[in-house]
Amino acid sequence: MAQAAKPIRAMWSKTFSYDLWMESIGIPVHKGYYIGDLRTLELGWWEERQCKAAFFQLMGQEGVSSARVTEIAPGKTLPPLKFALDELVYVAEGRGLTTVWLREGGPKKTFEWQSHSLFLLPHNHYHQLSNMQGDKPVRLLHYSYLPLAMSAIQDPSFFFHNPYETPDLVSGANGEFYSEAKLIQGQGGDELLGLRAFWYGNFFPDMRAWDKLDANRKRGAGGKSVFIQFPDSELSAHMSVFAAQTYKKAHRHGPGRVIVIPAGEGYSVMWEEGKEKIVVPWHECSVFVPPNRWFHQHFNAGGQPARYLALHPPMQFHGHAEKIEDRAKDQIEYPDEDRWIRQKFEAELAKRSLRSLMPDQAYTDRDYEWSKGMGKQ
C-alpha cells in the first residue's frame, strides 16, 4: 500500500519537525516565559517510557533546545533508552541511580545522584534511570539539542534505539568517565566576564553546594561564576552565585539557554530592546529562558545568596557581538539602566522588610570595583 504523501511545509514555517514529534507524544507541552517549579509541574503518562513526563518549550527555545521533565515513581526503574545525542540531566528532586553502557552484554557504569546533581548522558549509549527512594518520586530535567538535530533528520527513529555504535566513551576512558570534574586553567572561559578557566567533567554532585567559583566582576553584584564543559561533547553550562539584596547587570545573548534556579529567591526582568519588560519570579527549581537577543537582569530579593544554572545552546547560538570591544552593546551598566529597575528592586525588598545592599557608587562609577566581601557564600 502506498504511503500517504506528507503535507507541503509552509515556507518560513516556525513549526519544526521537533514540534510535530513533541506534540505527537500526547503528554503536556508547557509554554510561556517561565516554569514556576519543576517539582510541581503538571505531567502526563508516557506509555513508551513508562513514566510521567512533560515537555516545556518556553519562548526563546523554539527550534534550538529541548527540555522535558521526567518523574520516576518511588522504587521504580525506567526501561533502558538509547539516545543518539548528548543529554544533560539536572535533578530537581530526589535520589537515584544512573547506569550507562554502550552495547548489550558490555560493561556498565553506575553512579548515584541526589537533588541538584548535574550529569551528562553520552550520545549513542544506553542509559537506565532508577529511583532509590521508596516513598517519594524523583523529578529530572532533561536538556539536549534535539530540535536542531531533527531539523536535519526528521525521522525520530534515527535518534532513539538506533543500532549504530559510537566509540565506547564510558568504559574506554580508564573508568574515569564519571570521576570528579577537573579545573582547566588558562584557556576557554569567557573574556567578557574576565573568566579564563572552566571545570571539565560530566558529574557534579550538588550544584546547590558547588563552591569552586571564580570572581565575575564585570557582571556586577560581586558575583562568582563557574563555566562547565562536558567531555566529548559540545554541550556546556555555567552557574553564577550572587549576594543577597543585590542584582546583576542587564545583558543579552542568543536563544535556547535554559536557566534553572538551584537556590535563592528573587526575580528576573526580560525585555526586547525598546519594548515592555516581563517580570519572571523565581525560587528553587524555577526555570526560564531569555528569548533571543532580549536583555535580561537577575535580582536577588532574598536574605541568602542566590544561584542560577544556565544550560547553554550550541556555540553558534551564543549571540554575543563578534568583537570583544563591541560587546558593550550586549550589557547595560548600572549608571545607564532604566530608573524603574532600581525602584522595582527596592520595592520588592521592602515587601520582605529588607533593604538594598547595592553601593551608591555603583550607580555613578562604571569602573566601580566590587569589594571582595560581596558575593560570599
At 301-349, the pLDDT tens digits run 999 999 999 999 998 887 654 444 555 688 999 999 999 999 999 999 9
pLDDT, tens only, 116-135: 999 999 999 999 999 999 99
> Which one of 123, 158, 193 terminates a domain?
158
- Cell matching residue 109: 557504569
Shared domain for 117 and 193, answered yes or no, is no
Task: Tell whether 243 and 100 lie within a shared domain.
Answer: no
Q: Are residues 143 and 268 in the same domain?
A: no
Question: Is the same domain home to 95 and 215?
Answer: no
Q: Do 217 and 305 reside in the same domain of the chain?
A: yes
What pLDDT score was predicted for residue 285? 98
CA 161, CA 113: separation in Å to the nearest integer? Answer: 25
The CA distance from 304 to 306, in Å, is: 6
Q: Are residues 106 and 245 both part of a single domain?
A: no
**Residue for grid cell 565506547:** 168
In this structure, are 199 and 347 located in the same domain? Answer: yes
Average pLDDT score, the chain: 89
Which whole number is the average pLDDT over 153-159? 95
In a domain, 2, yes or no: no
How much is the average pLDDT of 84-94?
98
Task: Return the pLDDT at 127.
Answer: 97
Number of domains in the chain: 2
**Residues 147, 236: one domain?**
no
pLDDT computed for residue 13 by the predictor? 72
Mark residue 104 as left, alpha or beta (left: phi above 0; alpha: psi -120 to 50; beta: remaining): beta
| The pLDDT value given to residue 3 | 55
Same domain, 119 and 220: no
> Is the residue at 368 inside a domain?
no
Amino acid 143: pLDDT: 98
> Over 80: is that where the pLDDT of 275 sits?
yes
Residue 149 is assigned to a structural domain of this protein: yes
- The whole domain housing 141 covers 17-158
CATH number of the domain to which 253 belongs: 2.60.120.10
Main-chain phi, psi angles of 165, to 5 degrees: -110, 125
- Find the range with the poorest average confidence among 111-115, 276-280, 305-309, 325-329: 325-329
> Are residue 148 and residue 189 in the same domain, yes or no?
no
Q: 143 and 248: one domain?
A: no
Q: Is residue 36 part of a domain?
A: yes
**Does one domain contain both 186 and 284?**
yes
